[in-house]
Chains A and B, each alone.
Chain A
């Protein structure tokens, strides 16, 4: 029997946790996200796409780090485009950037504590939440090691710990599995499924098998537009024998992209 958490039974006043309509976001001068329509609900969503598809730019816009150039973007029922007050939405966000910088002299615990403080968590809840986040990513033994002494995979896990420390309603992870060894990736998938029970998780990745194993939903974008959204099984069903790829999911992925490019080329 599973414990039903309060968040699962709470009523919401919005139809989608993340809702983008005709979203356009610039990366420098280039319009990296161009007219994207996306609606995400609770669950784990895998964001796939070739290099330069606009995944990272989309993540930044969803994390409210960059301002959309056009379109509408609603997070947790609140509009986050333009000059809106972002404080309330940001309290419910967790974000792991693709390349995240850190202060090398901080220990893992100080780093996660500092991020928890920036996320305006109640003071009394911080030490417990920090310990729990560090435990969940398996860094308990390294909690008091300085960030500069950590390996690439450990840094990544410290980054995941800061993203989940405030139990976010929207968790955005940009390439979280880079640098993780196979065993840690399995643990990470477990963590994703766990978090995805009552929050909306968007994971950007190049590894199709990660998406199939851990996600409830696949989002494929190319050149800043939505190409496909469906379940992993639907993605697998898209591929035929003639498509490139070593697994059924990879064949589905390349079939979808090939079809989209053919349509765009016409």
Chain B
């Protein structure tokens, strides 16, 4: 910090008639920017003319502020909505919820069959997740893919947006049909984590399609044909599902660098 300029120098600085050499003007100016005392001292010794001028300028600025357009208001909730929701996946989420609604109806009409809700729960979020990270379905993919925010964090954020719709729908469906809540939600989370982990290697869209098909062929079809609840959804298996979900989520976290670019698989 420089020493305070003397009152005489300050007076010469304020008076444009008195010539002060350029180097001194600069050093006084830098000092004044950081020193409130000297600013006050200089303001106190201002002449009436300067005060008039300052008052006129202040009035002019106030007038122009009042006459100009109002500043754009804060719309943080709007911005938050745009950041968390993926608009192009809305139709797919509506479809998912509608299918779950149909499953609840089927369960009510056909109590003898294994619960359709619990059979559909693991694959319910997959269409939404696939759409959330997709070249074909995201209109702005090229813009988004070139930004620093693109990557695993963004995929997780969009997946969270999908789960925020699918999980409450599943909770409602399981409450209506009396299926165990843990055996509805844990497979759902495990399949979502599996999609992201597998997506690091083959693309999220392919991973979602592959896992959905595998589940349908290996579990849903046999369960419907034999009318027996599948072994993987027996009451004791929820611990295994939880462990699977945790492991897969951990694996996905280690593959973050695979999501920096939207590859052609997506």
Q: Cα distance A119–B146 when bound, in Å? A: 9
B147 x A100 contact (CB < 8 A): no
B138 x A120 contact (CB < 8 A): no
* Any A CB within 8 A of the CB of B148: yes
**CB-CB < 8 A to B142: which residues of A?**
60, 65, 95, 97, 99-101
**CB-CB < 8 A to B149: which residues of A?**
117-120
Known contacts A65-B145, A101-B143, A120-B148, A86 near B79 by CB under 8 Å: no
Binds B, one of A107-115, A188-196, A230-238: A107-115
Q: Separation in Å of the A248 CB from the closest CB of chain B?
A: 35
**CB-CB < 8 A to B143: which residues of A?**
95, 97, 100-102, 115, 118, 162
Known contacts A100-B142, A117-B83, A64 near B72 by CB under 8 Å: no
Q: Separation in Å of the B78 CB from the closest CB of chain A?
A: 7
A90 x B82 contact (CB < 8 A): no
Binds A, one of B179-187, B209-217, B256-264: B256-264
Q: How many A-B residue pairs have CB under 8 A?
A: 83
Known contacts A65-B146, A91-B148, A119-B149, A101 near B257 by CB under 8 Å: no
**CB-CB < 8 A to B260: which residues of A?**
83, 85-86
A127 x B83 contact (CB < 8 A): no
**CB-CB < 8 A to A85: which residues of B?**
257, 260
Q: Cα distance A93–B147 when bound, in Å? A: 8
**CB-CB < 8 A to B231: which residues of A?**
none
Interface flags for A33-76 (1: CB within 8 Å of B; 0: not) read 00000000000000000000000000010011111000000000
Q: Separation in Å of the A180 CB from the closest CB of chain B?
A: 19
* Any A CB within 8 A of the CB of B201: no
Q: Cα distance A106–B83 when bound, in Å? A: 12
Q: Cα distance A114–B86 when bound, in Å? A: 12
Q: Return the contact of A100 from the options B72, B82, B140 (Cβ within 8 A).
A: B140
A131 x B72 contact (CB < 8 A): yes
Residue of A whose beta carbon sits closest to that of B257: A83
Q: Cα distance A85–B262 when bound, in Å? A: 14
Residue of B whose beta carbon sits closest to that of A131: B72
* Any B CB within 8 A of the CB of A105: yes
* Any B CB within 8 A of the CB of A87: yes
A90 x B87 contact (CB < 8 A): no
Q: Cα distance A67–B265 when bound, in Å? A: 13
Residue of B whose beta carbon sits closest to that of A63: B146
Which range contains the number of B residues in contact with the other chain?
20 to 34
B148 x A103 contact (CB < 8 A): no
Q: Separation in Å of the A115 CB from the closest CB of chain B?
A: 7
Known contacts A100-B140, A103-B87, A93 near B72 by CB under 8 Å: no
A86 x B148 contact (CB < 8 A): yes
* Any A CB within 8 A of the CB of B144: yes
Q: Cα distance A183–B35 when bound, in Å? A: 49
Q: Separation in Å of the B7 CB from the closest CB of chain A?
A: 33
B148 x A65 contact (CB < 8 A): no
Residue of B whose beta carbon sits closest to that of A102: B140
Residue of B whose beta carbon sits closest to that of A26: B264
Q: Cα distance A100–B142 when bound, in Å? A: 7
Interface flags for B200-212 (1: CB within 8 Å of A; 0: not) read 0000000000000
Residue of B whose beta carbon sits closest to that of A87: B148
Known contacts A103-B139, A114-B82, A118-B150, A127 near B72 by CB under 8 Å: yes
Q: Return the contact of A90 from the options B79, B138, B146, B262 (Cβ within 8 A).
A: B146
B147 x A67 contact (CB < 8 A): no
B146 x A103 contact (CB < 8 A): no
* Any A CB within 8 A of the CB of B141: yes
**CB-CB < 8 A to A119: which residues of B?**
147-149
Q: Cα distance A103–B88 when bound, in Å? A: 8
Q: Cα distance A117–B83 when bound, in Å? A: 9
**CB-CB < 8 A to B148: which residues of A?**
86-88, 90-91, 118-120
Residue of A whose beta carbon sits closest to that of B256: A85
**CB-CB < 8 A to A86: which residues of B?**
148, 260-261
Q: Cα distance A127–B78 when bound, in Å? A: 13
Show 5 residue pairs from A and B whose CB-CB distance is below 8 angstroms, ordered by the A residue: A65-B142, A66-B261, A100-B142, A101-B139, A110-B78
Known: A63-B146, A118-B149. 7 other contacts (CB 8 A): A64-B261, A66-B261, A67-B261, A87-B148, A88-B148, A103-B82, A103-B140
- Closest A-B pairs by Cβ, 3 of them: A101-B139, A118-B147, A90-B148
